Chains A and B, each alone.
Chain A
């Protein structure tokens, strides 16, 4: 199928889905208990019934839900996601500040788990019953079974007080410069623990996936052919077996992008990482609906973008998909 046509179809699909996400989230939040006017009044240190009623009118909370929905959708199409009544700034600006942090976290966790997991899987596939392979299996299962927040807290304890060699909160050090290489290094240093915490769960999955697919590939006929051609082992494995092993890994990595976002909420909270995950957490606690809706919307945008990218990578790796073959 033509690539342009394919991508436009995917974009059209994504657009429909995003509209559904907006409407559904809006309705869900309205169905949830809690009154934003009361929360705002609480923030103000208490207010009379008149003031609360005035707040309702000011924020349009007195109108019918359908009316509120259409007002919201209308504003969103102009790029206006409203004003956060907890953070006191436009939601769009707030999200713009938070998205990079979350992307750093999620992408480095994903890259780490895919690369390390695949490597571990491939090495253990060479001797599936060997000591290394069994060690990887045990560690994988432990990593997979441990809840993210628990792993996070343990790492935080370990590197925060027992062996304080890594920063455990925030994304930057106030005392360090905010530009240039020093800034990049600072962020990377702060990224180690949160990314490791988030990545550990997925390392387990990728190592299992890579292991089983590599074992499969190593017994495949085309690997025997490659050996019969007298190719060096590094090409037999690195070219012929590896690429076939990567296909399912690409698929799973794309699907897991959404899971990673969910995991990021916990990790960002534990490590005070200033990303969207923490924003979700804070906006739920504060009933900051405009912020919450926008965060959910942009998370959906990122997940869909990830799916489209996965699809393209998939076509790059597997020519059978590209040509719509058998």
Chain B
């Protein structure tokens, strides 16, 4: 079966004062029905721009400069505004990081869920309202028949994000893009939202692109993962493979940044102590052809400095990495 979403060689640039500045370079990935692809990385690595490029909702100064985005066989990049409107909501939808500002404060949540149904399915106001209650129940909002008439400010953060999810799934899209859906929420609520997403995915077989910097969520939810750094994919593959055998120094650094509760026993290559990656992501426009992680990399050597960043090198069926020294520095190979 062909993948629901197929992104090939996608590059996005920002039209800045100094000309076009690349923010995302040559990203490729596929997401199959019922599967979850996680895009992982620090702020400013191009995750959200990938999501917005797929939705064709890039901010004004941003442009897709190359590549192709096939959604259910339809090329999104060449779709007319009318085709795009019918793709959005129907075939793909998105939930955002900040559920307070992503919902319109002036309309009830029922109105905001129902308007999609009225537009798309031609439902009457009353039917859309009744359906909205069903969707609120589906995202496990208690007293859904009362909450449907609530305004966003009357709901908690977790509730609002549930409303966003209900809204996104209202037209049963084939693809759901979740852009850091839990970043603005309490830790306990985060887990609930991830559980909900995973349950809904089991029911509806929706393909999910999950954008996150939460590696715990990746381990729990994702089938595949792509690690982005400074707009480039530096490691990509099956989620369990990458988490068990991270090869790129950056991915390994990210893992070391996650607090582990099993402090009693060391987890093989992961240090028990909480680590940090020194330095910062290079700013836009300051990214040369060489490895963008070079200035922060503990393993950098002459070959890294002499050569441009290598393309993704396929290690095995489940993993690919972009690092000159990944074999030398692999955990087993280290002295």
Taking beta carbons and an 8 Å cutoff, which residues of A are in contact with B? 219-222, 224-233, 235, 239-240, 243-244, 317-320, 323, 325-326
Contact = CB atoms under 8 A, between A and B. Distances in A.
Interface string B114-126: 0110011000000
Contacts of B167: 225, 229
Contact of B57 (A224, A233, A235): A224
A231 B115 contact: yes
A76 B236 CA distance: 84
Contacts of A228: 55, 57, 88-89, 93-94, 168
B318 interface: no
A291 to B, nearest CB: 45
B240 interface: no
Given A225-B96, A323-B154, A231 B102 contact: no
Given A228-B94, A319-B151, A243 B106 contact: yes
B116 A230 contact: yes
Contacts of A317: 106
A232 B118 CA distance: 12
Contacts of A220: 101
B102 A244 contact: no
A221 B119 contact: no
Contact of B90 (A230, A240, A244): A230
Contacts of B87: 230
Nearest to B119: A231
B156 to A, nearest CB: 12
B98 A221 contact: yes
B314 interface: no
Nearest to A246: B106
17 contacts: A220-B101, A221-B98, A222-B103, A225-B104, A226-B104, A228-B88, A228-B93, A229-B119, A230-B84, A230-B87, A230-B88, A230-B93, A230-B120, A231-B85, A239-B107, A244-B105, A323-B151
Contacts of B307: none
Contacts of A319: 105-106, 108, 151, 153
Contacts of B164: 225
B85 A320 contact: no
Nearest to B93: A228
Contacts, number: 85
Contacts of A233: 81
Contacts of A229: 88-89, 93, 115-116, 119, 167
B301 interface: no
A240 B107 CA distance: 9
A244 B96 contact: no
A221 B96 contact: yes
Contact of A235 (B93, B106, B115): B115
A325 B119 contact: no
**Across the A-B interface, the 10 shortest Cβ-Cβ residue pairs:** A230-B89, A230-B88, A221-B101, A222-B104, A221-B102, A325-B153, A319-B151, A228-B94, A230-B85, A229-B89
For chain B, give the interface size range: 20 to 34
A224 B101 CA distance: 10
Nearest to B82: A232
B88 A227 contact: yes
A224 B102 contact: yes
A229 B173 CA distance: 10
A232 B93 contact: no
Contacts of B140: none
Given A229-B119, A231-B116, 4 more contacts: A239-B115, A317-B106, A319-B151, A325-B154
B86 interface: yes
B102 A232 contact: no
Given A221-B96, A325-B154, A227 B104 contact: no
Which of the listed residues A239, A319, A323 has the most CB atoms from chain B within 10 Å of its own CB? A319
A240 B104 contact: yes
Nearest to A317: B106
B119 A232 contact: yes
Interface string B61-93: 000000000000000000001001111111001
Interface in B144-170: 151, 153-154, 164, 167-168
Q: Which residue of A224, A229, A326 has the most chain B CB atoms within 10 A of its CB atom?
A: A229
A233 B59 CA distance: 16
Contacts of B106: 243-244, 317-319
Contacts of A243: 104, 106
B149 to A, nearest CB: 10
A225 B151 CA distance: 16
A224 B104 contact: no
Contacts of B93: 228-230
A222 B153 contact: no
A266 to B, nearest CB: 38
B86 to A, nearest CB: 6
Contacts of B94: 228
Given A221-B98, A221-B102, A226-B104, A326 B153 contact: yes
A320 B116 contact: no
Contacts of A225: 96, 102-104, 164, 167
Interface in B230-283: none
